[in-house]
Amino acid sequence: MPALVPLTHRPQATARLYCLPPGGSGPEYYQPWADLLPTAVEAYAVALPGRGNRRDEPSPTDSGALAAALASLTDDATDPRPFALFGHSFGALLAYETARRLRRTGRREPVLVAFSAFPAPHQGELDRLLATLLTSGLNAFTDMVGPVPAEILEDPVAVTSLCTPFLADLVLALHHRHHDEPPLQMPLALYGGDADPLVPPDCLERWNDLFTTPATPYLFAGRHTYPQDQTPALVRRLAKDLQMAAR
């Protein structure tokens, strides 16, 4: 099941941040954040079976079961500090379901949930994204994960290794079913790329239907993979939003 990988060791920090990786990625996706986060934040990346250095393990494809496990990890009874959830791309779906699971089971809730480059799951945008990924082949794949070197595309073993964890996350999203619940009451932050061909800004805005406190999407220069090019700017913005929410 999921595990936490510390990005920073800051026991004196006043808040915790849990980062859920995008499709097919492991906790190494967030390693560049370690030196950029303020000292007031202790950050963890989520390691999922079948992804990253756990690729040899079976990939879970049940978002409900993963959310239940993540809720147990993030609501640490031994740590009273406030915490936030951040998810990029497919990680946003798990962050959302984890927040709902925490509320549904009466656990502590995050002081902030932040979603990056993923459509709200309740009005068909997620289905349209999944249909695009299923029918557009390599173009949609590279839009989602970034350019793939030619030498990898020419090696069947390398292609399989690259695509398998991504496909597992795609299956997870395909299995997901949205069930209506009352809107979440914690603060929301929304981020995206201003040239994202997969998740345009209006898709981000529809997350506001699912929260009582609306948020205006904050857009960075770039496409779906903008966090890789805009890492310092994204981390600064997220840290600012977390600081305001944790007051």
> Would you state the pLDDT for residue 82?
94
> Would you state the pLDDT for residue 184?
97
Distance in angstroms (rounded) separating the CA atoms of residues 158 and 154: 8
> Would you state the pLDDT for residue 23?
85
> Would you state the pLDDT for residue 167?
82
In order along its 247 residues, the chain shows pLDDT tens digits of 899 999 998 989 999 999 999 988 889 999 999 999 999 999 999 999 888 788 888 888 888 899 999 999 999 888 999 999 999 999 999 999 999 999 999 999 999 999 999 999 998 888 888 888 888 777 777 888 777 777 777 788 877 777 788 888 888 888 888 999 999 999 999 999 999 999 998 899 999 999 999 999 999 999 999 999 999 999 999 999 999 998 7
Task: Yes or no: say if 210 and 184 are a contact pair by the CB < 8 Å rule.
Answer: yes
CATH T-level fold of 3-245: Rossmann fold (3.40.50)
> Would you state the pLDDT for residue 12?
92
Q: Where are the domains of the chain?
A: 3-245
Print the SS3 string covering the chain: CCEEEECCCCCCCCEEEEEECCCCCCHHHHHHHCCCCCCCEEEEEEECCCCHHHCCCCCCCCHHHHHHHHHHHHCCCCCCCCEEEEEECHHHHHHHHHHHHHHHCCCCCCCEEEEECCCCCCCCHHHHHHHHHHHCHHHHHHHHHCCCCHHHHCCHHHHHHHHHHHHHHHHHHHHCCCCCCCCECCCEEEEEECCCCCCCHHHHHHHHHHECCCCCCEEECCCCCHHHHCHHHHHHHHHHHHHHHCC
> Would you state the pLDDT for residue 27?
92
> pTM of the predicted model, to two decimals?
0.94
